[in-house]
A and B are shown apart, each in its own frame.
Chain A
Amino acid sequence: MHTVPWLTILLVIPVAGAILVALLPKRASTLAKQVTLVLTLVELVLAVLATIAYEPDKPGFQFAQRYDWIKQFGVSYSVGADGISIVLILLASVLMPVVVLASWHEAEEGKRGVGAFFSLLLALQAGMVGVFAATDVFLFYVFFEAMLIPMYFLIGSYGAPKEQTQRSYAAVKFLLYSLFGGLLMLAAVIGLYVVSVHQLGHGTFDFAALRQMHIDEDTQKWLFLGFFIAFAIKAPLFPFHTWLPDAGAQSPTGGAVLLVGVLDKVGTFGLLRYCIPLFPDAADYFAPLVLALAVIGIFYGALLAIGQRDMKRLVSYTSLAHFGFIALGCFAFTSQAGTGAVLYMVNHGLSTGLLFLVVGFLVARRGSRDVDAYGGMAKVTPVLAGVFLIAGLSSLALPGLNSFVSEFLVLVGTFTEYKALAIVATCGIVLAAIYVLHLYKRTMTGPVVHEENKLVADLSLREKLVVAPVVALIVALGVYPKPLIDIIRPTVTATFTDVGHHDPAPSVPVAGVTTTGGHS
């Protein structure tokens, strides 16, 4: 059977779209938006079709393609999907049209091009698909770094309108943090290549080939650190997170959704895809450290979120706590926790994405990110408040909503290996309830404090269209997460089994957990 090159198609559409939209004449801004929206919808349909075509129980990469690119270095254009990458590509494709629609009037009043904004969004999408689809470490690195540039311009050129200095500060901080991590990773990538020259006789960046190598433990530790720091900055994990609140606060709404919803997943994705399978011994060695950082991140992020007055910063800090859970799941080395972590990446993309969207709508109405500028908004904008509440409840992992399933899987999976850590991390959920409900209370409930807030309009039809699919997914995945879990679990299990981690008590708890998620 001739296979459809799904991934290449998914990659080419946004690249071509970005060029096309950039070349549209300046006056045709509506056309640029329409073209972008259509392209992202096409991309979404194709991503869904690809996910349907994906066969979860087949081992190895699917839809794989491989062409030589730079022979001299053994670099190839090779793409392929496993259960983890296909759901993340799907997540990116779901969020893209939402973001485009949410950003419909973005950049309009500014002096900068509308077309350029949407072109950058498409370029970013190409980077996101590429980074998840690459099965060549060099290609992965190229996408990893190239993706920074559109995001950098999105923050710097289209971010918070009245704060030019802070905006470019945030953009530069984002770029430099990521670039620094990326360069350390480059050292490790080259190191990996040199090891492959010694072991395989010819240098290669092919992930499957690199996985076959047996690297001695000292080398593994260094290479692991190179990759790990890059991913820890990207994810971000405590203490590499300080760029996130700035970038999150200064990004345009759509940019923030993509940044926190998808881009940051590259970090946790990288941990699972590269750090653990390529350097299993080093991963074992560093696991306690990573787990400790993860738990610190859960509490640190939550505590700082409670103390924030800037709503976008608040949401950014909640993400730091969530990434703690994801990292915990990745490094607990059980298939439940790993599956939970991947599912968490998707769920976090949806719930935090929605939270950023709603906060963005609110900020766009009043022009202030300060919590104190609001109060009693539920009376004025009931729909907005309702969506806000759903997003918040999803963020605090209320049973019945999507995040609960993933958080529960992570905690149960961690508990089988590290009881104490799991118990401590569970306390983080209480803090999550505090920051979400406290935020909701201060902004939405009570009397309308400020006179000017009484005239604020509720969500428009366009905005309702934006949030509706995300809300629907949040509820659907909370009630019936099985399709995603079925795709994710075989890959995660294979990843851990390959490096010699078998679940302590095999089938019973796994099945139990899955059904718990299903029935809740």
Chain B
Amino acid sequence: MSAAPVVLAASSATTVAPIQTPHVEYSSISPLLIVLGLAFAGILVEAFAASEARRRIQPVLAFAGFAAAFIAVVLLHSRRATLVSGALAIDGPTLFLEGTILLFGLFAVLLVAERRLDSSGGAIVASASVTPGAAGSTAMQTSKEVQTEAYPLLAFSVSGMLMFVASNNLLVMFVALEILSLPLYLLAGLARRRRLLSQEAAMKYFLLGAFSSAFFLYGLAMIYGYAGTVRLGAIADAAGSASANDTYLYLGMGLLAVGFFFKIGAAPFHSWTPDVYQGSPTPVTAFMAAATKVAAFGGLLRVFYVAFGGLRWDWRPVIWGVAILTMAIGAVLALTQRDIKRMLAYSAIAHAGFLLVGLAAANTDGLSGSMFYLVTYGFTTIAAFAVVSLVRTGDGEASDLSQWQGLGRTSPWLAGIFAFLLLALAGIPLTSGFTGKFAVFQSAIEGDATPLVVIALVCSAIAAFFYVRVIVLMFFSDPPADGPVVVTRPSLTYATVGVGALVTLLLGVAPQPLLDLASHAAASGFVR
């Protein structure tokens, strides 16, 4: 990893001769430590437990670990400080986003642990190293074995996300970016069915992700060249004082933004999203769509509010442009999709655009609105992908839209819930999608971004069309003779769908508590 020499260079530049060991506030970073500990414990289980035992221990361990970390976040709720010599920050937004990521992690564990999807069980491959088409690769599909490394990988990724939203320092942020990304590249290649598609997804994600990391790192170097520091607060001070060469600052800001835009799937850096979402195992897709978006947005918000907060008149036009492009591309290209996972991927792109509208607001309401939106979107999208994993044909998920015809007739409840989730994604009132959009758009109008909001609403109307099209297929068409089967009694997935749909409803009908929490978290702002 090329990060190592840079770390040395940076620390020799910022600290004076004898290197002081930083003071580590263990209790304040306990969520991160718990998840990291969980990841290492998971590896030990992989090394020492038998395969049968692993399949039983890993999910329980992961679930308990994420739950413990979530409790730690709750216990820390009033902490506001910078930690580890200013490398990490603990403040309202951090804790809010960490809690959100951990909740999504819990649901991801439930989905990955689902074993009743078909005769073999699970969405995760039996042995990832068997190449598609090789001898024994078809036997792999029905094998009872499971690549249980998925759980520690998930834990590593979550730990990276927790660190990413807490980083108060661009270098730490870069390290966190890599920790969260590398396990995801691997996880993307673990689909049990359609191995080739899955491996292609992993490869694409890795290559493009590496590119974006390079952009991020290059931007970091530029910023360092400009400000002489990688600490967000110090960058803001340097940018505030009238100094000589702004070119490095703007170059660095742009390159960092490219890295972030890639991770959140904003246009024109979105092209990986549909391929990766389609190829990855559906539980992983759900996790990526929800948690990665939270983490990447958390980092984006922190950098733009803290480090570049004084430059908002410079970056707001760019965010406007990217937001418009992202919403338009997401909404329009989703219209042409034939595959349900690709359609949801474009929907994710459109939603990234809506979130950027909240960033364009550049005010406290925008911050709380974006955080609220992330929660609402995450729960809805996890539940939606969970439903996708339930509708299957003989050879895996029935991902082609034509196979969803008449589902409302054959399994009315599941189709009804999916329709509800789609309406939430479209932003119909009495669903969380509406409250989220309202929170974001309201802050944007207050932040003098009315034209942007009007464009966003037009894009919502376009987006509504493809959500509605799926509902039309499910309810107004007759089911084909050899239609897909809905899996019976996959309790873990049912639980995920149920909770996701319930939260979608609750946040649509009674959003006050969470809105309070988000605005409380945002009101105290970012610590520097």
Contact = CB atoms under 8 A, between A and B. Distances in A.
B461 A157 contact: no
B49 interface: no
Given A145-B429, A156-B475, A167-B476, A193 B461 contact: no
A96 B429 CA distance: 24
B516 A72 contact: yes
B454 A187 contact: yes
Nearest to B475: A157
5 contacts: A73-B515, A176-B464, A183-B458, A190-B441, A197-B446
Contacts of B446: 194, 197
B430 A164 contact: no
Contacts of B512: 69-72
Contacts of A73: 438-439, 442, 515
User: Which interface residue of A164, A171, A186 has the most chain B CB atoms within 10 A?
Assistant: A186
User: Which interface residue of B428, B439, B460, B477 has the most chain A CB atoms within 10 A?
Assistant: B428
Interface of B: 409, 412, 423, 426, 428-430, 434-435, 438-439, 441-442, 445-446, 450, 453-454, 457-458, 460-461, 464-465, 468-469, 472, 475-478, 511-512, 515-516, 519
Contact of B445 (A113, A157, A180, A194): A194
B460 A176 contact: no
B450 A141 contact: no
A112 B406 CA distance: 11
Contact of B409 (A112, A142, A168): A112
Given A157-B476, A176-B465, A190-B453, 5 more contacts: A148-B428, A168-B477, A171-B476, A187-B445, A194-B446
Given A146-B430, A194-B445, A156 B476 contact: yes
Interface string A177-219: 0011001101100110110010000000000000000000000
Contacts of B469: 172
A111 interface: yes
Given A72-B516, A187-B453, A190-B442, A156 B465 contact: no
B429 to A, nearest CB: 4
A456 interface: no
A70 B515 contact: yes
Contacts, number: 92
A462 B383 CA distance: 46
Contacts of A168: 472, 476-477
Contacts of B464: 175-176, 179
Contacts of A145: 428-429, 434
Nearest to A138: B438
Q: How large is the interface on A (under 10, 10 to 19, 20 to 34, 35 or more residues)?
A: 35 or more
Interface of A: 69-73, 111-113, 141-142, 145-146, 148-149, 152-153, 156-157, 164, 167-168, 171-172, 175-176, 179-180, 183-184, 186-187, 190-191, 193-194, 197
A70 B511 contact: yes
A190 B427 CA distance: 15
A180 B426 CA distance: 12
Which 5 pairs of residues, A with B, have the shortest CB-CB distance? A142-B429, A168-B476, A183-B457, A72-B515, A156-B476
Contacts of B426: 179
Contacts of A113: 412
A441 to B, nearest CB: 37
Contacts of B475: 153, 156-157
A164 B477 contact: yes
A190 B476 contact: no
User: Which interface residue of A153, A156, A171, A183 has the most chain B CB atoms within 10 A?
Assistant: A183
A307 to B, nearest CB: 29
Contacts of A148: 428
Given A70-B515, A142-B429, A149-B428, A191 B450 contact: yes
A72 B469 CA distance: 34
